[in-house]
Structure 1
C-alpha cells in the first residue's frame, strides 16, 4: 500500500508513505497522500499529524518512469496536479503537521517538508531539488521555506543537496537524531503539540497560515507553468529520458 494511516496514541495520526523502491510516487500516490492528510485533519480526534515514510528515504519526488512510458502529457499533468494537491494538503491540514524525514528528501519531498509545520530529521537525511537535472522546475517555493534566499538559489541552480544538520543550523529542522530514534522523536514533538486544546490548535493553524507572507499554492502553481513549458519544447523529455535510462547526470536518487 502506498499510503496508510495509523493512530500511535490519542490525538496523533500518522500518515505513512511506503512505495518501494525509493518512494517516488506515481500520480495516484500523490492524490492518495493528499486524501489521507485532509482526512486526518478533518478528524476531530486528531490534534497533530506525523508525516513519515518507510523504506530507503522519505520521498524521491515523482515517478519519472510512469511519466516517460505514458504517451502525451497525461502523466505530466497528473503529476503536476497531484503534487499540487499533496503539498497543499500538508499546508492546509487543519492541525499541525510534523514531518519525520530520513534518507533522501528530493523534489516532491521538499514540497511536502517545506509546507510542514515542523521537521524532525534523521542524521542520514539529505534535502535537495535535482529538478534541473530531471527536466523539471518547481518547489523552489518550498525550499525557500527551509533555507535563506541565496542558499535556495544556489541549491536550485546546482542541484546540490544539504544535510539535516545544515538545516538544523538554519532553524528549519527542529531536531536531528539517529535513524533509529526518528519515530520516537517525531512522536514526542507531536505528543507535546497534541496536548494543547484541539479547538485552539485549529484556530492557531489557520491564523499562522493567514499571516504567511507567501501564498504557497499560487507561487508553486506559477512554477509549474514553466515545467509544462519545458515539456512542450522537448527539453524536459531529453533530461527525463536520460535519467530513466541511467545516462543522466547530477546528484540525487532515482525519482
Structure 2
C-alpha cells in the first residue's frame, strides 16, 4: 500500500500508486506521489516515467472520508496542497510521463492524467470530474487538456464520465487496450520514448511546457480558491457528508 517505484527497463521508471480500497490517496499519499515523480525526473539515468496504479481504478480523487473525520479544515487544506504538488510534479517532471489508466480516473486522477505527456488506457477506463457532487471545484484545468472546451463544461456540470475510447477519438488517449495488456502497452510507448537521447528529451519537455497556452499551475490554483469558498459557505460539507453517509449505507 502506498507509492512504489520500479525500473523494469533501461531508462524507464514505473511509479505505482496503491491506496485500497478505491485509490483515493490520503493527504500524505499525494505528497508521496509528488516526491516519487520528482525523484524519478531528477535521476539523469531516467528518460521516461510510467504512472500507474493497482486495484479497482487509476485514481478516485482525494480521500473525502479523511476530510470529514476532523472538525477543522486541516485535511481539506492538506488535500488541496497535496493535489497541487502531485499534479505539478507530473507536469514539471524533467522527462516525459506516460499515464497508464485503468478503471476509473476521477477528480484528482484527472489532474494526474491531464498533466501527463501521454495516456494509454484500458478499454474499461472512464474519465470524469464528480466534483459538483462532492462539494468541490477544480481540475477543469486538466480535463480541458483531454477534451474540447464545450464537452469539458458539459462533463463538469453533469458529473458524467467519458470513456477511454471517446478520449481516443479526441486524440488525448494514445492507445486503448484490453486491461490485461495495459502495462505492456504503456511500457512499449515508454521504451520508444526512452530510446531517444536523454538530454534532448529533457530539453524537449521544457520546451513543450514553455509553449503551453495555459499555465496549469496558476489555472488550477485559481480553481481551488472556489473550493475554499464553497467550504466556508457550508455547501461543501453538506455534499461531502452526504457522500460519506451514502457509502456507509452501501456497506450495511
Specify the SS of the correspondent of 1:3: strand
CA 1:165–1:247 in 2, change beyond 3 Å: closer, same or farther?
A: same
In structure 2, the residue matched to 1:207 is 207
The SS at the match of 1:166 is helix
> Is the partner of 1:245 in helix, strand or coil?
helix
Q: Secondary structure at the match of 1:5?
A: strand
Query: Could you tell me how far apart the structure 1 residues matched to 2:11 and 2:90 are?
Result: 17
Q: Quote the residue 1:78 is aligned against.
A: 78
What TM-score do you get using the length of structure 1 for normalisation?
0.96
Question: Do structure 1's residue 119 and structure 2's residue 119 form an aligned pair?
Answer: yes
Tell me how many residue pairs correspond in the alignment: 248
Q: Which residue in 1 is equivalent to 2:102? A: 102
Q: Report the CA distance between 1:71 and its aligned residue.
A: 1.9
Partner of 1:251: none
| Residue number in structure 1 paired with 2:93 | 93
| Counterpart secondary structure, 2:137 | coil
Partner residue in 1 for 2:172: 172
Q: Does the alignment pair 1:196 with 2:210?
A: no
Deviation of the 1:247 alpha carbon: 7.1
Q: Flag the 1:247–1:89 CA change in 2: closer, same or farther, 3 A.
A: closer
Would the alpha carbon gap of residues 100 and 240 (structure 1) be closer, same or farther in structure 2, given more than 3 Å must change? same
Q: Tell me the equivalent position of 1:182.
A: 182
Query: Take 2:70 and 2:26, find their aligned partners in 1: how far apart are those partners?
Result: 12
For residue 253 of structure 1, what is the aligned residue in structure 2? Answer: none
Deviations 1:19-55 (A, max 9, x none): 1001001000000000000000001110000000000
Name structure 1 gaps, 5 residues minimum: 249-255
CA distance in 2, matches of 1:94, 1:189: 17
CA–CA distance in 2 between the matches of 1:235 and 1:79? 18
| 1:159 aligned residue | 159
Q: State the alpha-carbon separation in 1 of the partners of residues 210 and 159 from structure 2.
A: 31
Pairwise CA RMSD: 0.9
Counterpart residue number, 1:147: 147
The runs of 4+ residues in structure 1 deviating greater than 6 Å are: none
Q: Which residue number in structure 1 is paired with residue 15 of structure 2? A: 15
Structure 2: how far apart are the matches of 1:11 and 1:152? 35
Partners of 1:32 and 1:247 in 2: CA distance: 26
User: For residues 45 and 172 of structure 1, what CA distance do their matches in structure 2 show?
Assistant: 28
Instruction: Tell me the equivalent position of 1:252.
Output: none
Inter-partner Cα distance in structure 1 for 2:235 and 2:18: 31
Q: 1:247 to 1:17 in 2, by over 3 A?
A: closer
- Matched residue, 2:41: 41
Alignment correspondent of 1:228: 228
TM-aligned CA deviation for residue 70 of structure 1: 1.6
Give, in whole Å, the separation in 2 of the partners of 1:137 and 1:8: 37
The one-character-per-residue Cα deviations of 1:68-93 (angstroms, maximum 9, x if unpaired) are 00221100000000000000000000
